[in-house]
Structure 1
Amino acid sequence: MRKLGKTLPPSSNQMFRAKTENLRGILDPDQLILRVFISLQYKYIYVSVPKAACSTTKNYLASCELGSQVTYLNFEDVHDRILSPLLSPTQIMHLFPEILSDKSFYKFTFVRNPYHRILSAYKDKIINHKSYRYQVIKHIQNDPLTDRPISFEEFVRTIYNCADHEMNTHWMPQHHLIMDHAIQYDHIGKVETYQNDILEISKSIGLKFKFLHQETRNESNSERYLKECYTDDLCRMVKIKYREDFLRLSYSKVPTW
């Protein structure tokens, strides 16, 4: 696959930081580069949200851009910007502000119910990855390098007590990640209605459905598993911490399980 990523020289990096300050909010420039995918061929901007079908969407968009099904030896490579055929803001730095305000460029993203997303982040990142556990452990014990299992309750309580800007993007509130204060979206899709939303988006920008595969959700979506993991107190903390997501993304604070 083509390698399109590049490192900006210091002067350009400073310019990019200055140009995107109002857009980024609490995100640093590197996160903006990771989040935003641009297609000049199909004239769209996709803003990815971790734990909101971003792997499936990136794979689908890359396949459409290249005109053939993209496969990876390591599926985590779907997140590697150097391997992506889609452009990052730094590659068209001088055009990016203009494209962002250009109404002919279709702008979309996907979001997820906060209850489901946090549980998915816990199962995928905290249980399976030591590096992510360290990011939580450092907040709850004196020796952050001593690895140990973290319960879901510990995870939620740690998130609850963290400032938003200190959070990893896999559990950071989504309204920061989609930068909806600065981006006028044509479509904000939801993981819960992914197939309908991605089909509507595809029709709007002329993508080929043959590269679209059914998104499979893991057991973190099952009502039984949610009920087993969430106590009333944990639900209360998620409601408070993610209140802006519930409100701005039109999700009910009332658990459905």
Structure 2
Amino acid sequence: MALKQLQSSVSYRRCFKRTAFIFVLAAVCLIVSGASYHHAKVKTAISAALTSLSTKPDMPSNSPFTEETRNVSYSNELQLLAGNHSDSVQQILKKLFTAGQKRKPDKHFMEEQAFVQFQRKKTLRQACRRHPYVMQREQSSGQFFVMEKSQILYCSVPKTGCTNWKRVFMVLEGDRPNTENISGNDAHFSNNFKQLSHRRLLRDIRKYDAYTKFLQVRHPFVRLISAYRNKISGETPLVNQGEEFGQMAEYIVRKYRRGAGIEDYNLSTLHVTWAEWIRYLTDPTERRDFNAHWREVYKLCLPCRINYDFIGNLETVGSDSGFMLDHLGLADLHFPSSRAAYLHDSEKRGEALFDQYFGNVSREDIQRLYDIYKVDFELFGFEKPWQLY
């Protein structure tokens, strides 16, 4: 009986999908054939067809599909066919029929990844409701970049693979032919991206409502490790890190290291220990307005105020980047993961780093750190550290 119900529901859904898709193709054909319809009328026709795709039909009363399952399915179909309703006719055509695309996206992969995105956005919305003060937040940092040719709005979170994404965006914008010879400095300082002012962010961002809005995150504690190793520890000589990080490292040593001598402040040899770094982060007397490299993502990117189309995760950057680029009709452009060894099997590497650095951190300090980054943990679906259970 259950099998018959399932077959009936599937048949019903397929019939609906065929009918709705015919409307889309018919509207597209009107444009492609050069029919003399007014542009607004054609756009209305496509919008109506897309609406029919996104609207749930009246399913049989004995359907085994849950309400949420139907929502997921039609959300995915809409994403795969044409993006969102705010897209222009040209954008819809581009997503339906990408000219010159050598490799067609794998349908199963796209459906699977669309579901991943659905779950991430659902987790984000639920967490935003649990933290209403985050939903009211307006102040942000200058981390928003606009790529006008490719129509992408990107919130760049340091230590989440942002350098590689900027390489990709430089190619999309026509600044470079490929990602191979773009240095880290060029990616950050020689791009032609428009940077939005944090003071007028929520007002200015409305101009880009039809753009693809993108954010990539990382496990908060692993991001802290990366920031420590790259900017503070001295593993990369602080004399090469810029004045801000050198001064901060010197300040940490001066405040938390007993008996520090003058030799401890030589930027060529200065090393901040992991224990000193943890003390600085968890010190209640320190300001919580952290440097962007370890500032909370919800403060950098306002995820409860801005409706992101894609939420990437560095731990799954291979599949996430493939899905985003395929969705944009750029299936032959690849995320330059070969440049950084940590991007290969990143999840296992993150676990190893966590054990290495947090293995000897007290439960109390882990709790203090978690309390600082708790909102990020919840917004982006990261598991609470096992030491706190």
117-126 or 127-136: bigger deviation: 127-136
For 1:146 and 1:197, locate their aligned partners in 2 and report how far apart those are by CA, in whole Å: 42
Shift of 1:109: 0.8
1:194 aligns with 2:317: yes
Match of 2:265 in 1: 146
Deviation at 1:62, TM superposition (A): 0.8
Q: CA deviation at 1:232?
A: 3.7
On the 8 A contact 2:252/2:277 being kept in 1, the answer is no
Q: Would the alpha carbon gap of residues 40 and 94 (structure 1) be closer, same or farther in structure 2, given more than 3 Å must change?
A: farther
Q: C-alpha separation between the residues in 2 aligned to 1:94 and 1:141?
A: 38
**Is the Cα contact below 8 Å between 1:44 and 1:205 reproduced in 2?**
no
What displacement does 1:38 show?
Answer: 0.9
8 Å CA contact retained: 1:49, 1:110? yes
Corresponding residue number in structure 1 for 2:206: 100
Decide whether aligned partners of structure 1 residues 225 and 89 sit closer, same or farther in structure 2, where only a CA change above 3 A counts: closer
For residues 184 and 129 of structure 1, what CA distance do their matches in structure 2 show? 39
Distance 1:122 1:170, change over 3 A: same
What SS class does the counterpart of residue 333 from structure 2 fall into? Answer: helix
Confirm whether residue 109 of structure 1 aligns to residue 218 of structure 2. no
CA distance, structure 2, for counterparts of residue 207 and residue 88 of structure 1: 24
Matches within 5 A, 1:1-257: 25=139, 27=140, 31-32=141-142, 35-66=143-174, 68-70=177-179, 72=181, 74-80=183-189, 83-89=190-196, 97=203, 99-100=205-206, 102-127=208-233, 128-130=236-238, 131=243, 132-139=245-252, 141=254, 146-147=265-266, 148-161=270-283, 162-165=286-289, 167-207=290-330, 209-214=332-337, 216-217=341-342, 221-230=349-358, 231-233=361-363, 234-255=365-386
Q: Which letter does structure 1 place at the counterpart of 2:247?
A: Y
Contact 1:112–1:191 (CA under 8 A) maintained in structure 2:
yes
Change (3 A) 1:24 1:217: farther
Alpha-carbon contact 1:111-1:188 (below 8 Å) kept? yes
Structure 2 residues not aligned, in runs of 5+: 1-135
Partner SS state of residue 189, structure 1:
strand
Q: State percent identity of aligned pairs.
A: 20
1:188 is paired with a residue whose SS is strand
The answer to whether the Cα contact below 8 Å between 1:100 and 1:183 also exists between their aligned partners in 2 is: no
Deviation at 1:43, TM superposition (A): 1.5
Larger mean CA deviation between 203-212 and 36-45 belongs to 203-212
* Higher Rg: 2
C-alpha distance in 1, partners of 2:138/2:319?
29
CA distance in 1, matches of 2:382, 2:231: 24
Instruction: Give the CA deviation at 1:255.
Output: 4.5
State whether residues 213 and 307 of structure 2, in contact with CA within 8 Å, keep that contact through their aligned partners in structure 1.
yes
- AA aligned to 2:185 is E
- Per-residue CA deviations over 1:159-179 (Å, capped at 9, x if unaligned) read 1223321x1111111111112
The answer for the alignment partner of 2:58 in structure 1 is: none
* CA separation of 1:245 and 1:96: change in aligned 2, threshold 3 A: closer
Supply the distance in 2 between the matched residues of 1:223 and 1:200 (Cα, whole angstroms): 24
SS at structure 1 position matched to 2:292 = coil
More helix by share: 2
| Paired amino acid for 1:185 | Y
- Deviation of residue 75 (structure 1)? 2.5
What is the TM-score with the length of structure 2 in the denominator?
0.51
